[in-house]
Structure 1
Amino acid sequence: MTLEHARHRLDETIHAPVRFSIVAALAKIDQAEFKAVRDAIEVSDSVLSKQASALEAAGYVRIKKGYVGKRPRTWLSLTPEGRAAFESHLTALREIAGGA
């Protein structure tokens, strides 16, 4: 019988601290404006942009650009795959923290 430690189920894409923070912030809502996420997780525009792009490339985050009046805006949201990956990652973290 082979048992697999929960750490093997951690998602390396989500596990990085800034990406984890982005996904966690988006998990509670449908979508958020770029600036709101930036302020909530306390990073610069360039850091958020780079990490959100990595999450988008993995299929976890959708980045939508548009306008509010004449001002450009960017919105971030989790994809269904991103929500599932985040839940799976949290489950693995809970197992590790619980000593399973």
Structure 2
Amino acid sequence: MADATDHAFYDRADAHIELSNEQLKTFENLGQVSASMTFGTTRFNAWASARSFKSGAEMADAREALLKYFTDQYRLMLEDNLDDHINNFSQYMQVKAAPTAE
């Protein structure tokens, strides 16, 4: 993941999240908005990857390495974010503590 001092990394990520949050105000279907964001990310990553090749055949030869790289990166980032949400669930989800018996 990005170095902690790379604030621009998080600013760019937050801009994408903000767009998805705005879409939720109109579409209200979390699964559809999430799927669109994931599709957009994969499409952008395929295009960005293609820029470093001279031909489709050359890119095809690197297909498995590209899949491994991107799936490994996604898994690492998802693990970090899942752990963050597990550890900060009450804060992020604004869960109120259950009332205690008196």
TM-score computed with the length of structure 2 as normaliser: 0.31
Q: Name the structure, 1 or 2, with higher relative contact order (CA <8 Å, separation 6+).
A: 1
Q: Quick check: which has more Rg, 1 or 2? A: 2
